[in-house]
Amino acid sequence: MGIATGLMAGYLRHYSGEQLLQLEKSRAASLAQIFENSLWSDFRPLIPLANKPAKLQQAARQAKLRDAVVELMRGTDVIKLKVYALNGLTLFSTDAEQIGEDESDNGGYRSAAANVPASELAHSHSIDAFERTLTERDIISTYVPVHAPDGKVEGVLEVYLDATPFVSSSSRRLMWLTLAICALMGVLFIAQMLVVLHAGRIIARQALALEDANRDLDQRVAERTQALENANQQLEGEISERRRAEDRLDRLAHHDPLTSLPNRLLFHKRLQQALDRPEIGERGLALLYIDLDRFKDVNDTMGHYVGDQLLMAVAARLSAHVRPQDLLARLGGDEFVCVLDQLDSRDTAGIVAEKLLSLFNQPFAVHDNDLYLSASIG
C-alpha cells in the first residue's frame, strides 16, 4: 500500500508538471507571436551579426531594445527573454552578460530551431529579472521558433516565466491529496485486518467443533463396537453407521461445504489421476480457471450472506452446464476451476470457455435481488 501511495503521488506530481508545461508552452507561444508581430523587425538586423561578436555586442546592448522588451512584457509573468540565431549564438538577452554565448548544445534550443517548441521546469536559486534579482523561484523556460515572412524558422525566442505561485499551490494540493490517499489506504488496511481476524475466529470455532465431533464419533464407535460383541445384527448396524460417518467425513474433507463442489484437495487428486492416464496424449486435457470479477464488491456492499448465496447460485449454474465426465471444483473464495477430459479437438476448450462465460449474461436471483456478475476464464 505504501508503494502504491508513492507511485500515485509521483504520477500526480508528474502529471501536474506536464499539464503546467503544456499550459505555459501555449502561453509562451502566444507571447512569442506578440513579440514577433511587435518587435521582431527591431531584432532582425542582429541576425547577420551572429558571426561578428564585436558588432553584435554593441548592437544588442542598446538600451532601446531592452526597454522595448520590458515595456512589451510588462504585466505578464515573463521575467526574462533571450533571442538566438540559428547557429545557437545568443543575439540578445535582457541579461546583457549573456549576449554572445553559444547555446547550440541546448536541447530546448535545438528543438525550437527544428520548429518544435519545447519547455522545461527548473528551480533557480537566483535569476536576474527585468528590474531585479529573484531568489528561490520555479522557472519555466520555453523555446519558441520565430519565423521569417516565407514561413521558415529565422531565429529562436526563449521566454522565462515565473511559475512559483502555481508550483507552490500545486505542491500543497498534492500534499493534501497524498495524505488523503494514505489515510484511505490505512482505513482499508485496518478493515482488511478486521476481516482476517474475524475469519480466523470463525475457523478456530469450526476447528474446535470438528474436534468435538471427532471425539463424539470415536466415543460412539467404541460403544457400538462393544455392543457388536453381543449380537451380529447389532454389529451390522453399527458397521453401517460407522461407514456413513466415514463417508460424511470424507465428503467434508474433499468437498466445499458451501457449494458441495469438490474442493482444492479433491481437485488436485482428480487432476493427477487424469494426467497419469496413458491415453491422455490421444484425447487431450484442458484446465479452465474461472475467476469472478468484482465479487468482493458484493460482500462489501450487501454482506457475506448474500455473497455466499451468490456463490451457491454460480456453482449451481456452472454445474448444470458441465459434462458428467468433466470436473468442476471450487478452490476457495470466488475461484473455480474446470477440468475438461477427453477433448474432441483443441478448439473444444475455447468453445466450452465461451459457453461458460455466456452463463453470466443473465442475472442471478439472490435474496430478492437480481445480481449481475461477470467472470474471467484462463
User: Which of the residues are catalytic?
Assistant: 334
Q: Which helix (H) or strand (E) holds 220?
A: helix 164-228
Specify burial of residue 19 (Cβ count, 10 A radius: 0-12, 13-18, 19+).
Answer: exposed
DSSP secondary structure string for all residues of 23-35: HHHHHHHHHHHHH
Phi then psi dihedrals of residue 264, to 5 deg: -60, -40
Specify burial of residue 257 (Cβ count, 10 A radius: 0-12, 13-18, 19+).
Answer: exposed
For 255-332, where are the alpha helices, taking DSSP H only?
264-276, 280-283, 295-302, 304-319
Residue 136 Cα to chain centre, angstroms: 35
Q: How far is CA 362 from CA 38, 103, 309, 356, in A?
A: 68, 67, 16, 12
Nearest Cα neighbor of 11 from 167, 177, 172 is 177
